[in-house]
Every structure is written in C-alpha cells, then in structure tokens.
C-alpha cells in the first residue's frame, strides 16, 4: 500500500478498485487501483496501480483412460476420452496417436498422448497405452465328450491335422512320440491348461 507524505501535515489515503479485462488469462485481466491522497488543505494527488492476474498453472486431468491389453480378435478398440479442468477457465483436451508395430496378427501398441491446454497456453500431458496382440488360446476342448480333457482328446485333435488313428507325431524332435510331445501340443493351447 502507498504511504503518502505532505510538507504541511498528515495526508489521508483512500483507494478504489476497478476490475478490468475479460479474465482467464495472464495479463488479460486484473484490477486498476486508484489511490487518492488528501492533505489538510484539501489538495489531492492520485496514483493508479495496475494489478494483473497471472495464470502459470497447467490444467489438471480429472480422468485418463486406463492402460488396456486386448487380443486381435476382441473387436473394436474402446477409445475413451480424457477430461481436464483448469482453475482459471476451461481446458481443451486433444489426443495424438502413436502406433508401434502391427497390424494384427502381429502384436502392436497404440500410445495415446492427451494434452490439456488452458486459455493462457499452459499445458499438461497424460498417456494411455493400448497393447494389442494375439488372443491367448483357450484350453483344449473335450472332443470325445467324456467330461474331461485327456490324451484321447489330444489324439482327436491330431486327427484334425491329418493324422489318422495310431499315427505317431514327434513334436519335440527326439525320435519318439511320448508325454513330452503331448505336453508340446497342450502348451500351444496356453499355459493355464497345463
């Protein structure tokens, strides 16, 4: 606050504020404060002080979609939007995509970079990574209908690949058809089945 002086005595000081500008951005709004000093003889002097609002804080994200992992056969990729807010006004959110690898059936990633920007140009970023790959294979089916998956189901599955009854398939290359060959076949159905 100003401190007036007067050669002939004590001066009183008052001020009046006038709000200016449209608000919301650095330097675009503030207060015009007009000080008026009055001495004992009624002489006056004025001084105007301009106080500008400064917005240096970036918007904050309220919601960012979580990272996601899906298979190539899962259909449409859900693309939710991020939202942000700003203490001095509205925030605009844009998104850029970076696709690495792919396309299906090869695995790939979509990296979505969200940028929230306020009216003053302050910005913040957040990312969502969507990993897309081959859908994991399910467990083998109960092909023979006996209520559980066993060697007979494996043999039926081999038949679908052109192997007739009593054929031998050496999947692990050790020269014999054995349990390790059955395990090699089952492993192609996913680890949760072993």
Q: Where are the domains of the chain?
A: 12-52, 60-133, 151-193
- Give the DSSP per-residue string, 31-95: EEEEEEEE-TTS-EEEEEEEEE----PPPEEEE-PPPEEEETTS-SPP-PPPEEEBTTB-EEEEE
pLDDT digits (tens, 9 = 90+) for 101-144: 888 888 899 999 999 999 888 999 999 999 998 645 556 667 77
60-133: CATH topology: Immunoglobulin-like (2.60.40)
Which residues fall within 8 angstroms of residue 80, CB to CB, at 6 or more apart? 65
Tokens (6 digits) for 109: 């990633």
pLDDT above 70: residue 56: yes
Q: What's the CA gap between 42 and 72, in Å, rounded?
A: 85
154, containing H or E segment: helix 151-160
Nearest to 31 by CA among 46, 52, 10, 61: 52
Q: How confident is the model at residue 96 (pLDDT cuts 50, 70, 90)?
A: very high
pLDDT above 60: residue 190: no
Q: What's the CA gap between 110 and 98, in Å, rounded?
A: 6
Q: What is the pTM (predicted TM-score) of this model?
A: 0.52
């Amino acid at each position: 606050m100003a401190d007036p002086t007067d050669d002939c005595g004590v001066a009183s000081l008052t001020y009046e504020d006038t709000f200016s500008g449209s608000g919301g951005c650095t330097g675009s709004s503030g207060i015009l404060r007009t000080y008026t000093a009055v001495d004992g003889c009624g002489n006056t002097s004025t001084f105007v002080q301009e106080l500008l609002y400064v917005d240096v804080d970036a918007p904050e994200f309220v919601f960012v979609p979580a990272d996601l992992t899906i298979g190539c056969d899962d259909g449409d990729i859900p693309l939710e939007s991020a939202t942000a807010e700003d203490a001095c006004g509205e925030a605009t959110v844009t998104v850029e995509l970076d696709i690495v690898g792919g396309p299906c059936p090869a695995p790939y990633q979509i990296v979505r970079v969200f940028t929230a920007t306020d009216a003053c140009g302050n910005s913040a970023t957040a990312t969502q990574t969507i990993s897309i790959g081959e859908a994991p294979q399910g467990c083998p089916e109960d092909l023979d209908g006996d209520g559980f998956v066993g060697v007979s189901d494996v043999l039926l599955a081999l038949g679908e690949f052109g192997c007739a009854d009593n054929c031998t398939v050496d999947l692990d290359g050790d020269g014999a058809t054995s349990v390790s060959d059955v395990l090699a076949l089952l492993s192609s159905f996913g680890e949760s089945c072993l």
